[in-house]
A and B are shown apart, each in its own frame.
Chain A
Amino acid sequence: MNRWSNLIFMMAVCIAAPQGGTAEPQPGARDLAWVEKRAQELEPAAQDRRIDEIGWASDIRQARRLAAENDRPVFLFTHDGHINTGRC
């Protein structure tokens, strides 16, 4: 194909693409890869979740039972909101 044929072919591809099975955004746009990367960047990292390193009892009654069985004191933290998700 000569230069003009190439140009006409490329224009035809560009026009036809949205009418076919796909119309993916151009690379560099807010495409799927960008969304996935951004979501990953916003996820909590291990250092954000050090609270998970503590062996928390599920509730006060379980804590009391374990304390009595193992002769250990209970550390109870009462708070507003949800410390497990950080919305507190």
Chain B
Amino acid sequence: MRAGPLSNTRVISLLNRFFVPVYAANEDYRDGGAQPADEKAEYNRIFKEAHAAKLSVGTVHVYILSPAGHPIDSLHVATAAKTERLIDLLERTVEKLHVREGKALVSPVTQSAPPACAADSLVLHLTSRSLDGRGAWSDFPVEDWIVLNRDEWEKLMPRSQLQAGDSWEVGKDISARLLTHFYPPTENNDVAKNRFERQSLKATVVSVQSGAVRARIAGELKMQHSFYHKEDGKVVEATVVGFIDFEPASRTIRSFQVVTDQATYGGGTFGVAVRSLK
């Protein structure tokens, strides 16, 4: 949907001028999911009302609700992903309800935003994309947000006095927190299912100037990661390189960035970049 109709100029225009668009991640609406009870109740009501109205229903689905909030139409994602079919649904709805054209009711904003976290957290933004269109989805790059709390990011830098050439191994728990996200765009995004065969990050000081340390990071990983949720034996293999700038005296990280040098998965190549927010 995202690479197809939701990137189409006509669809974007129709949604903004005539509809109130909203998306709902199913995981957030299940038991234990992040959404509050009344939001979950709305989601369940819509599903049940659509079913009672004999509309098509499903978890990955498009629903059209009347201004009063009742389901009046729906499309399975396989159909809705065909841009012309979705445009037809939207235009049909506008005509049927005599919807008046207007501006978007919510100002468009970047949808991938850093998660709420403590002010002293280290927030890292990760991008992953297929480089050759093989072995992974290649429509667009995907993103992750990784938040390390103070106790975690402090482990990226040693407490000892440093000089050029000094090196240290980043703790396995912290390198795992980062490297478990090093996989290309796939259907399976449950990192709890990833299994490392090996993983490491090693930092080596390249400069010490005015109390600021720059260290080069080099590492590697081999990790089982299934494309779909069923185990398929597919493996990520990657080498990574990057840099961390920090001030040992004030225990401050100025910047952190790591990218893949070589990365393969499922017969294709991919690239990952992780950078701290400025």
- Chain B positions 143-164 with a Cβ under 8 Å from a chain A Cβ: 143-145, 164
B60 at the binding interface (Cβ < 8 Å): yes
**Which A residues touch B107, using CB under 8 A?**
55
Pair B108/A35 contact, Cβ less than 8 Å? no
Contact with B along A45-88 (1 / 0, CB 8 A): 00111111111111111111011101111111111111111111
**Which B residues touch A81, using CB under 8 A?**
25, 27, 189
CA–CA, A68 and B66, complex, Å: 9
**Which B residues touch A79, using CB under 8 A?**
1, 23-26, 59-60, 77
Pair B206/A67 contact, Cβ less than 8 Å? no
Residue in B closest to A44 when the chains form the complex, CB atoms: B141
B194 at the binding interface (Cβ < 8 Å): no
Chain B: residues with Cβ within 8 Å of the partner, total of 85
A82 to B: closest C-beta gap in Å = 6
A42-B257 contact given A56-B23, A83-B2, CB 8 Å threshold: no
Pair B141/A21 contact, Cβ less than 8 Å? no
A88 to B: closest C-beta gap in Å = 7
* Interface locus among B97-105, B168-176, B230-238, B246-254: B97-105
B273 at the binding interface (Cβ < 8 Å): yes
Pair B25/A52 contact, Cβ less than 8 Å? no
Taking a contact as CB atoms closer than 8 A, the residue among B12, B39, B46 that contacts A50 in the complex is B12
Taking a contact as CB atoms closer than 8 A, the residue among A35, A66, A86, A88 that contacts B242 in the complex is A35
Pair A76/B141 contact, Cβ less than 8 Å? no
Pair A84/B112 contact, Cβ less than 8 Å? yes
Taking a contact as CB atoms closer than 8 A, the residue among A49, A58, A59, A60 that contacts B46 in the complex is A60
Taking a contact as CB atoms closer than 8 A, the residue among A23, A48, A52, A58 that contacts B141 in the complex is A48
Pair A72/B242 contact, Cβ less than 8 Å? no
A22 at the binding interface (Cβ < 8 Å): yes
Main SS class of interface, B: mixed
Main SS class of interface, A: mixed
Chain A: residues with Cβ within 8 Å of the partner, total of 58
Contact with A along B128-144 (1 / 0, CB 8 A): 11000000000011111
Instruction: Report which A residues bind B (CB closer than 8 A).
Output: 18-25, 30, 32, 35-36, 38-39, 41-44, 47-64, 66-68, 70-88
A80-B20 contact given A50-B7, A73-B65, CB 8 Å threshold: no
A78-B63, A83-B1 are known; give 19 further A-B pairs, CB within 8 A. A23-B164, A35-B241, A54-B6, A55-B104, A56-B21, A57-B105, A62-B22, A72-B105, A73-B64, A74-B67, A75-B22, A77-B22, A77-B24, A77-B62, A78-B61, A80-B27, A83-B23, A83-B111, A88-B2
Residue in B closest to A38 when the chains form the complex, CB atoms: B259
A14 to B: closest C-beta gap in Å = 14
Pair B22/A30 contact, Cβ less than 8 Å? no
| 7 A-B pairs in the complex with CB atoms less than 8 angstroms apart | A53-B12, A56-B23, A67-B66, A70-B20, A73-B66, A86-B112, A88-B25
CA–CA, A86 and B144, complex, Å: 9
A41 to B: closest C-beta gap in Å = 8
Pair B100/A71 contact, Cβ less than 8 Å? yes
CA–CA, A58 and B108, complex, Å: 11
Pair A49/B110 contact, Cβ less than 8 Å? yes
B34 to A: closest C-beta gap in Å = 11
